[in-house]
Amino acid sequence: MKVVTLTKSLIFGAVSVALVASASGAPRADELLSYEQVWTKVRGESAGARGADEELAAARKAADRASRHWWPRGFADARAYTTDDAGLLLFSKLGSRSLSGSDLSPFAMNFPDGQVYQKATLGAELPLFEGGAKVAESRFRQKMVRGREFEKEALLLSEYAETAGLYGALLISDQQEKELLPIQTLVASTIARYELGAKGNPVGYSGLLGLKNLSHRIEGELEMIRARRDGARKALAEKAELPAGWQPSGASIPDFVADFLERGRYGRNGALETSYAVSAQQVMADGLEELKSAERARFLPRIALFAEGSYVSGNSVNATAGTAGGFLQWELFSAPSFGAVGQAELTAAAARSRAEAARVRAASDFAKAERVSRALRDQMRLADRSLALLEEQSEAARKLFLNGSINALQLTEVFSRTVDLISAKAQMKEQYLNVNAQVIQLVPFEIPVVADGGSV
């Protein structure tokens, strides 16, 4: 009779839990969001991604400007003035081709009347040789574009990994809660039906206290799960505007990692030797190498062709003039220029050393994280098997408890081991998720492309 009554209580408790979960807002089909959908929203609303896009666009503009260094330079100058300056008046009359003999008298030259002139000049300059400075700057700007592209990929990958960690935390919380609720129901039903828990029965009372402590522990675990879930939800809500009451689409953590944190690990960018962040440092170091050539150009001549035409008007007389030729400019001495090449060489060497150190560190971290990931994956498989065995043992222990073969303390011990394993398995999943989120930032990971409809 007791067995039938307890079985009915367990069924009633399980149904009650299901009804409570439904009333508290169980996810409807239209509230389920896959990770692809969440990432699409985060990517579209990311301020960091917008900033990276703008920096890349600015770098491309700078490279485009630098690539036009060999284009001819055109200039124009126009001015109108009134003056009684003797020297300026003389040359203005020469420019307008209006100089007469009377203008050369001592009195006229020393005490000229003020006059009004207009002058317009149009010229062009074509560089032939600049010592290689502009060529080196153009190559440097191209390297900077490539570096910005790598920096953008690194930033997006960091956002992707962080978003995956938050979404995975929701999956872990839901799975852990799903595994703990049946145990909570069993413990609560056992306490409610326990008839030997009077203080006059020390063994029975001790068993009752053990069951109550276990119930409190499970409730504490569930509270922590809810807190972690709320924290992950708030963090995702800060990244993107997501619908209220949305739920993650159910997937196991190993499957989630395999789909979103492993599948693109060796994609189209597999030719790169290291992560995007390290590649950005390497390209920046290469760019600084180009600046050494620009510094050397300080000590080389500059050769160019030029042409200039002018129009001068004054005293109702107009005239034009033209000049064409070439020039050579050579800085023979400049104290600040001494040591510039050596400084550029040291700067480039320091950047290259930092990039190499980052590459070695990334390779070491990657190998270490890969080993940890494999170990955690194996541990999770063992934990799944152990949990299945413990669930079977719990069912057997419950039957033994019902027929009086074991006491409440022994049943509590079995339930406690199950709770311990569920918590340990959740921690393994969290570590496995975090390690793989770290790993993808140490390699040229290809973020899965999201197609229309949210599929990869």
- pLDDT at 172 (0 to 100): 96
Overall domain count for the chain: 1
Distances (CA, A) of 380 to 77, 83, 225, 430, 433: 78, 93, 19, 11, 12
Higher pLDDT pick, 169 / 398? 169
**Alpha carbons 308 and 315: distance in angstroms, whole number:** 24
Asked whether 280 and 154 are in contact (CB, 8 A), the reply is: yes
**Cα of 195 vs its chain's centroid, Å:** 60
Joined together, the tokens standing for residue 269 give: 């960018």
On whether residue 84 sits in a domain, the answer given is: no
- pLDDT at 3 (0 to 100): 36
What's the domain range around 18? Answer: 2-74+139-303+362-442
On whether residue 225 sits in a domain, the answer given is: yes
Asked whether 302 and 129 are in contact (CB, 8 A), the reply is: yes
DSSP helix/strand/coil, 25: coil
Residue 204 pLDDT level (bands cut at 50, 70, 90) = low
- pLDDT at 11 (0 to 100): 39
Q: Output the CA torsion 124→128→130→136 (10° steps).
A: 110
**Alpha carbons 383 and 176: distance in angstroms, whole number:** 13
Pairing of strands 73-83, 115-129: antiparallel
Instruction: Answer yes or no: is pLDDT of 103 > 70.
Output: no
On whether residue 63 sits in a domain, the answer given is: yes
pLDDT, tens digit (0-9, with 9 covering 90-100), for 210-262: 889 999 999 999 999 999 999 999 999 999 999 888 999 877 999 999 989 98
On whether residue 381 sits in a domain, the answer given is: yes
Residue 455 pLDDT level (bands cut at 50, 70, 90) = very low
Instruction: Answer yes or no: is pLDDT of 10 > 60.
Output: no
Residue 333 makes CB contacts below 8 A (sequence gap 6+) with none
341's enclosing H/E stretch is: helix 340-402
pLDDT, tens digit (0-9, with 9 covering 90-100), for 381-395: 999 999 999 988 988
Mean pLDDT computed over 51-78:
91
On whether residue 180 sits in a domain, the answer given is: yes
On whether residue 94 sits in a domain, the answer given is: no
- Across the chain, mean pLDDT equals 83
Distances (CA, A) of 30 to 27, 50, 335, 413: 8, 29, 73, 42
Asked whether 6 and 193 are in contact (CB, 8 A), the reply is: yes
Mean pLDDT computed over 300-313:
90
Give the CATH number of the domain where residue 9 resides.
Answer: 1.20.1600.10
Joined together, the tokens standing for residue 13 give: 């408790």
Residue 171 pLDDT level (bands cut at 50, 70, 90) = very high
Mean pLDDT computed over 348-375:
92
Asked whether 18 and 212 are in contact (CB, 8 A), the reply is: no
On whether residue 173 sits in a domain, the answer given is: yes
**Alpha carbons 57 and 61: distance in angstroms, whole number:** 6
Mean pLDDT computed over 31-49:
90
- The number of beta carbons lying within 10 Å of the beta carbon of residue 239 is 20
- pLDDT at 263 (0 to 100): 64
Q: State the amino acid at position 297 in one-letter form.
A: A
**Cα of 54 vs its chain's centroid, Å:** 14
Joined together, the tokens standing for residue 127 give: 């560089």
**Alpha carbons 140 and 309: distance in angstroms, whole number:** 36
- pLDDT at 344 (0 to 100): 87
Sign of CA dihedral 161, 163, 164, 166: positive
On whether residue 189 sits in a domain, the answer given is: yes
Closest CA to 15 of 185, 258, 199, 132: 185
Q: Report the alpha-carbon angle 24-29-33, nearest 5.
A: 95
DSSP helix/strand/coil, 89: helix
Joined together, the tokens standing for residue 59 give: 């770098």
Residue keyed to tokens 């270490």: 368
Which range, of 95-104, 257-266, 283-292, averages the lowest pLDDT? 95-104
